[in-house]
Structure 1
Amino acid sequence: MGVELIQYVRTSSVRTDLIIALCPADKPTDELLSALDASESAIYDALSNLEGRGLVTSMDDGWRLTGTGRLVADTIHRQELLEDLIAVDTRYWEHHDTSVLPEPFRLRLPEIDDYTVVRGTQTDINRPVREVVTRVESVPRCDVVSPVYHPEYEAAMPDTPDSRLLLSHAVIDEMRNSETVSVDVDRYTETEIRVTAVPYALAVAEDWMILTLPEIDGDWPSAKIVSETDAAISWANDLFARLWTDATPIETYLDAL
């Protein structure tokens, strides 16, 4: 599907509204005329142009999307969801690196449809850390991805059979090479630990998810995305499952060093 076809539709509010209106189901012409905020002549002209582009087709009693029209409608819907996602906190998305996420999950980011960005302030610089610790301490189980070592997170992590902890290679290497930091593997008697290369943080429980992306300049940020929607939690669970499947058990990783 050519990009110019999508652009053609989106450069006209009437064409866009028609495509979206026909996306759920075919509609009679009179229903389209009453549903759209445009003149009859503008609607008829847009329908004719869309039909000429192979996006809609006329029926005896109305209009329907073609297969191409359906794909365009789906793309426009995803674009609108992405615009809504960014609009919640434009500053966050401008300054954080989304390229570190696997492409399939980058494309699914609009599923985080209702979220809050938790930032530190001059009077409460530790607010993001406290947000994570409070949530993790309050649940019987959770899955956590940790690309950097943080003793407060380690202390808060529940030790239960249903919890899983995924550490980055960098965390293990830092602990091995530091005289002041050491991984307390014995602390976790039930939580399974694996190791992988990962440049972002993630925590997900039954009722919430927290995502931490690095800043564009490479610095590790304090700002965190927090969401409690089912769609966001599902997105986070799927991302964790992908990382977990490809990760190495910590015992195997340490034995190989």
Structure 2
Amino acid sequence: MKKVLIDVIFASEKRKNVLLLLKDGPKETKNVLELLETTRQSLLPQIKVLEEHHLLSHKNDVCELTKIGKLLVEDMMPLLDTVDVLDTDIEYWGTRKLDFIPTHLLERIDELDECSLIDPDITNVYNAHQAYHETCAISKSIFAVTTFLYPDFHEMYSRLIHDNIKSTIIMSPDLYNKLETDRYSGFKDLMDSNLMHFYLYSGKIDFMSFGYNDYQFVMSPLTNTGDFDNKHLLFSSPQAREWGKELFEHYLKDSTPITEI
């Protein structure tokens, strides 16, 4: 009796890997064996199952996806990529508020690729984003949406200005009000630079912050209960940065420039 197709694809790691291996084109059986580091005796029964379900053809010792096989592999990739992203730490992802991500980007979360979960200890609270800040220092421009600023924000952004790095920052209404009352002079100094561009978001910002530069994308969601901690996600692939850019543009369209304070 034939297996349910979902079981054919995912119930066997070997079958799944064979399908993924053939997505770029036909391969000789010996090459498949080498790439999967397995034996002919172990692999051939799995190839036979794929043949019986019309996902693969195996002729003249060459393996090739069928039309149906190609269709399914194309649909498999986003799912497997999404699983890879969430597998970074499913406990973290599962306990975070993700409502701030628009639907069209949440559906493309597979584009974030694998990421690093950064969990700094208490002695590094004010250096929580150190790895990201190091790449900011060698970027041409940085972009961020935030509800907070580090105590040394004036010094940090002054260094960026000194190094001719352009910064575009969208802030929450609460943060703007705090700067207006607590840090007027320092904030005004930064505004006077043509390398600093501040925007005020018109609505509620239901996350801590996110940002991207020429090298990385960083994201700090709140917990499901609305609490915050210093854990954050760091992504380094080009497509993850492009995803982060689209998220930034989503918030920019509902923001207005801050020209005075």
Normalising by structure 1, what TM-score? Answer: 0.71
If asked which structure has higher relative contact order (CA below 8 Å, sep 6+), I would say 2
RMSD over equivalenced CA pairs, Å: 3.8
CA distance in 1, matches of 2:81, 2:9: 17
Distance (Å, rounded) in 2 between the aligned partners of 1:35 and 1:161: 45
Q: Which runs of 5+ in 1 are unaligned?
A: none
Partner of 1:162: 166
* Contact 1:119–1:127 (CA under 8 A) maintained in structure 2: no
Amino acid at match of 1:165: I
Per-residue deviation at 1:161? 8.0
Q: Cα offset for 1:153?
A: 3.5
Hey, what's the Cα distance between the residues in 2 that align with 1:41 and 1:251?
A: 66
Q: CA, structure 1 residues 33+44, in 2 after alignment: closer, same or farther (shift >3 Å)? A: farther
1:175 aligns with 2:181: no
Instruction: Tell me the residue number matched to 1:194.
Output: 199
Report the alpha carbon displacement of residue 229 of structure 1 after superposing the two structures with TM.
3.7
Aligned to 1:238: 246
Q: Work out the CA distance in 2 between the residues paired with 1:66 and 1:250.
A: 54
2: CA distance, partners of 1:99 / 1:87? 20
Work out whether residues 141 and 205 of structure 1, in 8 Å CA contact, stay in contact via their aligned partners in 2: yes
Alignment of 1:1-257 (within 5 A): 5-6=5-6, 8-27=8-27, 37=38, 38-49=42-53, 51=54, 55-56=55-56, 64-128=64-128, 136=136, 141-148=141-148, 150-153=150-153, 155-157=155-157, 158-159=160-161, 162-172=166-176, 174-175=177-178, 179-180=181-182, 184-185=187-188, 187-189=190-192, 190=194, 191-196=196-201, 197=203, 198-200=205-207, 201-244=209-252, 246-251=253-258
Find the residue that maps to 1:214 and give its secondary structure: coil
Deviation at 1:181, TM superposition (A): 6.0
> Identity over aligned residues, as a percent?
15
Between the two proteins, the alignment pairs up a number of residues equal to 244
> Structure 2, unaligned stretches of length 5 or more?
none
